[in-house]
Amino acid sequence: MNRSMKIIALFFLAGFTGLGVWYNHRYVLPDPVAVRLEGTLPQPTTLTPTPRARFTPTPANRKGYYNIDIVGDFTLPTTKTITFCGAGRNLHVQQNRDKIFRRGFSAVEQTRMVPGVEIWTDGFPAAGWKSTLKQSQRSLILYQDYFANAPFELGWARNSEQASSVIYRPPANARTMRTTLFNASAELGGGCVAFGDCPPGSLKSTFGKIFLDIENEGTSYGNQQEQANLYTFMIKTIKENVSPQTQVGSIAPVPHNSFGNSRADHYLAKPDWLWNTPAKHTATSRRRGMPDDIVGKSYADYVDFQMPGAYYLYPDFDYSARHTGDGDRHWLASLLAEQEVNRRLSPKPRIAWHWLFNTQNADYPNSGKAEHPAPPAVAEGMGIFYWFTGAYGVLFWDDHKDLVPDQPSPNDPALKGLANDRNYACYEHYIHGLWRLFNHHGDLFNGRETYLNEQTELSFDGGQTWLKYNASQLKTRDLPFVRAIVNGNQILVAATKPYARPNQTSQVMLRYVQNGYNFYATLSLKGDEIYLGRATMPKGAARR
């Protein structure tokens, strides 16, 4: 899918039609106030580095394969979720169907499920048949075609300018009419049939999560109210036709879409109009079946989770590119800033889409095809740093489903670097990151943890002054990135110097002097490796 081209198009549409803020000049947040240390530097506390697994990544010349056994068994804490909608489950599923759930993933998307075992795909299941998957292990993505193609044929899904012609509900004298938003939303209730567990006497979807990927949110200024009405009605209707345990969210709208950037002015953003514009009647909405009960409600009122997060472009993976300008792309700054901004704008749990290849965008060098995998530190860092933002989950996605290893390189240039012609070692590094974090520190993610985010207090002058930087500020100052999680007397620290040379060493200090703790530590970072460490914090009078 050419997702980013749609996003970029919507970005420009937003600027010229009033859908978003078009900045004529840049707003810059003031520098944080530096706090000077009083007295002598306290004795540092030793952080215990988290082990790394010893494995040989799949070599670059091997295509269409990755080794899911580069680490042993581990599972996510119950407070977190990762849906597998990646490539290559077929590489191991015949030998061990449950392997995916013992490598950090907690759910699988329906297109990656095993037919006849995990999901019934051919008519009604046999009497007494039930899926082997628990409800929490089931996920569904609804793409644009679900709404736009037969039987619902809602052209609005491909062209939001048609919002004013969408029929909400069929008229009383046309009950068999299916080309309505109500039918497209309500008929999802039949999803329980595929798992053999429909509630007695009713149809309520028993997917654990439903992700919408319509990508039609941008529209002209005069069409905004119609669009807000439709999104509110759609999400409410879906929620009424799923089980109480089913969670629903969408790739858009989100409170703020940074389009993979981490500019300073994003931290001043207000929620996007489609996120929380209340529904209200228009000149034609009643005639088209819009109910009165959604008036005054918004999409944000009904959705269960938000999905801030953007796919990477090739410049994010290019170590030779410039990464320190306000508008420059930066893999870690964008990963963190997207979450730092959106966590301020909405309390809804956050689930990001993660893809380990560059998204397709011909406007950026080497980004025309998704042929570039995330470098090792980027892939591992995504599996670690993202969770330091307090995010709830991930939808791990790929534009390809099954992998056939060791296929000859295609003669057609258009197919080179795609699907089975890709090197998938990036999956191994990502899973390794998950394993380092959750296999060793899963006990800290019990719902009582505190995520410091941009309140992480750092020193770059040997402990004489202390500052709290957001991700954008760390990027533009070309500083090491450090983030921490505190749970009781335990502190967990992730740190790296993005894009650093292999022989480069970076020094940074961290402290936590709250709630009676007096923790100081010095980190020496090698290259762009991902550091992960944990310590028991000492009690004592804090020195500010």
Tens of pLDDT, residue by residue over 167-223, are: 999 887 776 789 999 999 999 999 999 999 998 989 999 999 999 999 999 999 999
Nearest in space to 302 (alpha carbons), one of 375, 357, 253: 253
**Predicted local confidence at residue 253, as pLDDT:** 97
Residue 526 confidence (pLDDT) above 70: yes
CB-based contact 398:418 (threshold 8 Å) = no
Give the Å distances, CA to CA, from 344 to 340, 484, 487.
7, 18, 21
- What element of type H or E holds 3? helix 3-17
Which amino acid is present at 453? N
Sign of CA dihedral 111, 382, 265, 319: negative
Q: Chain-wide mean pLDDT for the chain?
A: 92
**Predicted local confidence at residue 33, as pLDDT:** 72
pLDDT, tens digit, 9 for 90 and up, residues 246-255: 999 999 999 9
Query: What is residue 435's DSSP assignment?
Result: I
Residue 434 confidence (pLDDT) above 50: yes
**Predicted local confidence at residue 38, as pLDDT:** 76
Q: Which long-range contacts (CB under 8 A, 24 or more apart) does 57-62 make?
A: 57/376, 57/425, 57/428, 57/429, 58/423, 58/424, 58/425, 58/428, 59/425, 60/423, 60/425, 61/423, 62/405, 62/406, 62/423
Residue 270 confidence (pLDDT) above 50: yes
Higher pLDDT, 37 or 526: 526
The token pair that represents 496 in the structure block: 């790296």
> Which residues lie below 8 Å from residue 512, measured CB to CB, with a gap of 6+?
452, 457, 484, 486, 491, 519, 537
CB-based contact 280:295 (threshold 8 Å) = yes
**Predicted local confidence at residue 30, as pLDDT:** 66
pLDDT, tens digit, 9 for 90 and up, residues 460-479: 999 999 999 999 999 999 99
CA dist., res. 22 & res. 20, Å (int): 6
Nearest in space to 212 (alpha carbons), one of 237, 178, 193: 237
Backbone angles phi, psi at 194, to 5 degrees: -70, -10
